[in-house]
Amino acid sequence: MEPRPPLPPFARESAIEKVRMAEDAWNSRDPDRVVKVYTEDTRWRNRAEFPVGRDAVHAFLVRKWARELDYRLIKELWAFDANRIAVRFVYEWRDDSGHWFRSHGNENWQFNAEGYMEQRHASINDRPIHESERLFHWPLGRWPDDHPGLSALGL
């Protein structure tokens, strides 16, 4: 596998870059793009699901974005050390009946020497919100550089 910089061990700047790259990929809502950052045998915990391997992760992401419409995500670096990064995140989405949600979570990531994610452990809580409470209003896709982040939004 070709290396996926930035590579561990992480410094603050390279950890922030890795977080932004992951955020950009997830905001694309493209399972084919997203799975390329994980090892072939990646191990996940996401709520009550425990997918193992790229194929299982791909299927998970297809189901996720078929259910979570108008998905917009912001991640923020929480901590890092050597080959691990911890982030907190918030995303907003609606279901097919038009009900909006804000999902808050934390992820712990572990990378191999080539910069691919071997493990992803996510804890996530969903909170129903009214459409008028939404805070993420950019066009679908990449979170704009000039949009406030989680701390600035009080999240």
Express each pLDDT in 72-90 by its tens digit.
999 999 999 999 999 999 9
Architecture of 12-133 per CATH? Roll (3.10)
Contact (Cβ atoms closer than 8 angstroms) between residue 87 and residue 77: yes
Express each pLDDT in 28-41 by its tens digit.
999 999 999 999 99
The proportion of the chain whose per-residue pLDDT surpasses 90, expressed as a percent, equals: 99
Enumerate the H helices of the chain as residue ranges: 12-28, 31-34, 54-67
For residue 63, how many other CB atoms are within 10 A of its CB? 12
The model's confidence at residue 1, banded by pLDDT at 50, 70 and 90, is: confident
The ranges assigned to domains in the chain are 12-133
Helix (H) or strand (E) holding 97: none
DSSP reduced 3-state for 137: coil
The proportion of the chain whose per-residue pLDDT surpasses 70, expressed as a percent, equals: 100
Contact (Cβ atoms closer than 8 angstroms) between residue 42 and residue 53: yes
Angle at 110 between CA 106 and CA 116, to 5 degrees: 115
> Has residue 97 got a pLDDT over 90?
yes
> Has residue 61 got a pLDDT over 90?
yes
Beta bridge partners of 88: 76, 106
